[in-house]
Chain A
Amino acid sequence: MKKHSNVLYSILFEIAILAVFIVFLKIESLILNLIFLVVVAVGTYLLLKKTTIMAKLRAGSQTKGAVLFPLVVLTLIVPFFFLENIYIVHVLTLALIFAIAVLGLNFQIGSAGMVNFAQGTLMGIGAYTSALLCTHFGVSFWVGLLAAIAVSAFFGLILGLPTLKTKEYHLSLVTIAFAYVGYLLILNMSWTGGPDGIAGIPKPKIFGFSLVNSLKIGGIVISGTILYYYLVIVFLGIGIILARRIHYSWLGITWNAIRDDDIAAQCYGIRPTPYKLLSFVLGSIFAGVAGVLYAHFVGFISTESMAFSIDLLLVSMVILGGMDNIYGVMIGAFLLILIPEKFRSFEDFRLLFYGIVLVLMLIFRPQGLFPKRVRIYDIERGKHGN
Chain B
Amino acid sequence: METNAIKLLEAKDIVVQFGGLKAINGVNLFVNRGEILGLIGPNGSGKTTFFNVVTGIYTVTQGDILFQGKSISGKKPQEIARLGIVRTFQNSRLWFDLSVLDNVILGMYMRPRPSSLLTLYNFKKIKEDFRKKAEEALAILSTFNEELVTNCYRRASELALVDRRRVEICRALAANPQLLLLDEPSAGMDPAETNQLMEDIKKLKQTKEDIGIIIIEHDMSVISSIAQRVVVFNFGKKIAEGNFKEIQANEEVREAYLGKG
Contacts and interface: CB of A to CB of B under 8 A. Distances in A.
Interface of A: 242, 245-246, 248-251, 253-254, 256-257, 259-261, 263-271, 372, 374-382, 384-386
A292 B19 CA distance: 54
21 contacts: A242-B119, A245-B120, A249-B116, A249-B126, A253-B98, A253-B102, A253-B106, A257-B98, A260-B96, A266-B77, A267-B81, A268-B175, A269-B78, A269-B81, A374-B153, A375-B101, A375-B102, A377-B130, A379-B138, A385-B151, A386-B153
Main secondary structure of the interface of A (DSSP, over half): loop
A229 to B, nearest CB: 26
B78 A270 contact: yes
Contacts of B113: 250
A268 B150 contact: no
Contacts of A257: 95, 98, 106, 109
A261 B96 CA distance: 8
Contact of A256 (B55, B98, B119, B130): B98
A95 to B, nearest CB: 27
A153 B101 CA distance: 34
A268 B153 contact: no
Contacts of B56: 266
B149 A381 contact: yes
B134 A264 contact: no
A256 B131 CA distance: 19
A376 B57 CA distance: 33
Contacts of A249: 116, 118-119, 123, 126
Interface in B43-73: 55-57
Nearest to A378: B131
Interface stretch (B22-30, B86-94, B226-234, B237-245): B86-94
Contacts of B101: 375, 377, 382
A254 B78 contact: no
Nearest to B108: A268
Contacts, number: 124
Interface in B125-143: 126-127, 130-131, 134-135, 138, 142
A374 B156 CA distance: 11
A126 to B, nearest CB: 21
Interface of B: 55-57, 76-78, 81-82, 86-87, 89, 93-99, 101-102, 105-107, 109-110, 113-114, 116, 118-120, 123, 126-127, 130-131, 134-135, 138, 142, 149-155, 171, 175
Closest 8 pairs (CB-CB, A-B): A385-B153, A260-B95, A266-B77, A382-B152, A377-B134, A269-B110, A269-B81, A264-B93
B49 to A, nearest CB: 15
A271 B95 contact: no
Contacts of A261: 93-96
A267 B87 CA distance: 7
A266 B171 CA distance: 14
Contacts of B94: 260-261, 264
Contacts of B78: 266-271
Given A250-B116, A381-B138, A264 B89 contact: yes
A385 B95 contact: no
A260 B98 contact: yes
A268 B57 CA distance: 12
Listed residue (B114, B151, B153) with the most chain A CB atoms within 10 angstroms of its CB: B153
Contacts of B87: 267
B58 to A, nearest CB: 12
A184 B88 CA distance: 48
A101 to B, nearest CB: 20
Given A264-B95, A270-B78, A254 B102 contact: no
